[in-house]
Amino acid sequence: MSNSERIEQLAAAIAEEVYIDIAKWHLYLNDAHLHRPLAEKFYAMLLDGVTSADVAKVLNETAIAIGGGKREIALSDLIPSSCQNRLLTILQEFEY
């Protein structure tokens, strides 16, 4: 299986399970078009093993424009802790 196929599989897994929560409204990362860029970032880290610190670092460094670009918020502030934990589990499952 090629790297691009594995990235697509990882992106699909992220898209199905991880969401942004705003006022109890859930926007899944595929709807926000964020699943593929995150999969590409995390895929490169899988060989070394991904930790919760790695997940936090990537999500903190991923700025999301809101209000038509008036402001940016770190993705880590928009994804609930339970989804961040699920993201870590997904990534760890892809290590094997």
Average pLDDT over residues 81-87: 97
CA distance 75 to 4: 24
pLDDT at 2 (0 to 100): 86
- Judge whether residue 88 has pLDDT over 90: yes
Model-wide pTM > 0.75:
yes
What's the pLDDT tens digit per position in 10-68?
999 999 999 999 999 999 999 999 999 999 999 999 988 999 999 999 999 999 999 99
pLDDT at 1 (0 to 100): 74
Whether 41 and 58 have beta carbons less than 8 Å apart is answered as: yes
pLDDT at 96 (0 to 100): 65
